[in-house]
Structure 1
């Protein structure tokens, strides 16, 4: 009898994320991920306690990836308003290529999980630092506003909800400019 295949956290995360993006979040199950990594479902319990742990792996991986994107774009911005715009554009690009991971990342379950994942801590810190540089006072309300607007826009865009004609890219840039101007107005 051949020795059982070893499962790495990286392989487990990649399999769970691929299933989520190909088939949707509901398809991410212990059984589906076990099959994808080539083990029997009971073997997966050595790595995760339940399905929610798989979803947390996806959210953490997504947060790390988005933080890398945001850091790269925001770091090249010429001023604080441009940095906020870069963050929103990075989120839109990420949301386009990984819509299910993006929705999971900003779901209440992923955000309220304790302890916070390293990826989510890094992403939150990057976002708060960029907002702190752009807007006066407590950065949390401004960060929440920027995140909610970008997430809402991207969610509607992916759902095909913009049916009134016009250029969706232009609408995104209009909303982004308006929001960035409002957040930096009292600086």
Structure 2
């Protein structure tokens, strides 16, 4: 009997992400991924306990990719917190456009086991909390949640083609972002 084929972590994650983007999150199963990488299903249990474990691999890869993208350009000298948050928002929107289904795992995974681990999510959350702390007084968590919820919601609606009233969607994104950044910077009463 021939030796079982070995699959690199990169090839495994690429297959999971491809299935998720092409066929949907529900199509990511142990058997579909095994078939995509050319191994028998039982061999995947060395890498993940179940399909949610496979989804976590994709979510953590997406988190790393987004962190890299958000930090690829250094902040400009004199660029304030609003400028940094604007860049983060644009990076997230661009990522969501490229990987709409996998990006959803970052914010709306089907279970905690399918979401990025706290260790994988922290490099995404920490810079956001730091920049919001510089922009607003008090606990940055409510503002960070509002910021990410608005961007994720906007991107989800954009991907679904839900903006059907005409007008420029890019302009609407900038308007919403301006309003949100103004609200974050405004002292709380």
TM-score, L = length of structure 1 = 0.92
Deviations 1:126-179 (A, max 9, x none): 211121121111110010000000000000000000000000000000000111
Q: 1:92, CA displacement in angstroms?
A: 0.4
Q: Provide structure 2 residue ranges, at least 5 long, that are not aligned to the other structure.
A: none
Q: 1:109, CA displacement in angstroms?
A: 4.5
Whole-angstrom CA distance in 1 between matches of 2:95 and 2:14: 16
Q: Spell out the pairing of 1:24-173 with structure 2 (5 A cutoff).
A: 24-73=24-73, 75-76=75-76, 78-109=79-110, 116-173=117-174
Q: 1:113, CA displacement in angstroms?
A: 6.6
Asked if the contact 2:63–2:121 (Cα under 8 Å) also holds between the matched residues in 1, the reply is yes
Residues 1:120 and 1:131: Cα distance change in structure 2 (over 3 Å): same
Whole-angstrom CA distance in 2 between matches of 1:115 and 1:61: 9
- The range that moved more, 115-124 or 138-147, is 115-124
Question: SS of 1:160's equivalent?
Answer: coil
Question: SS of 2:61's equivalent?
Answer: helix
Residues 1:173 and 1:112: Cα distance change in structure 2 (over 3 Å): farther
| Residue number in structure 1 paired with 2:10 | 10
TM-score, L = length of structure 2 = 0.91
Q: 1:75, CA displacement in angstroms?
A: 2.9
Residues 1:41 and 1:76: Cα distance change in structure 2 (over 3 Å): farther
Asked if the contact 2:129–2:140 (Cα under 8 Å) also holds between the matched residues in 1, the reply is yes
Alignment length (residue pairs): 187
Asked if the contact 1:16–1:28 (Cα under 8 Å) also holds between the matched residues in 2, the reply is yes
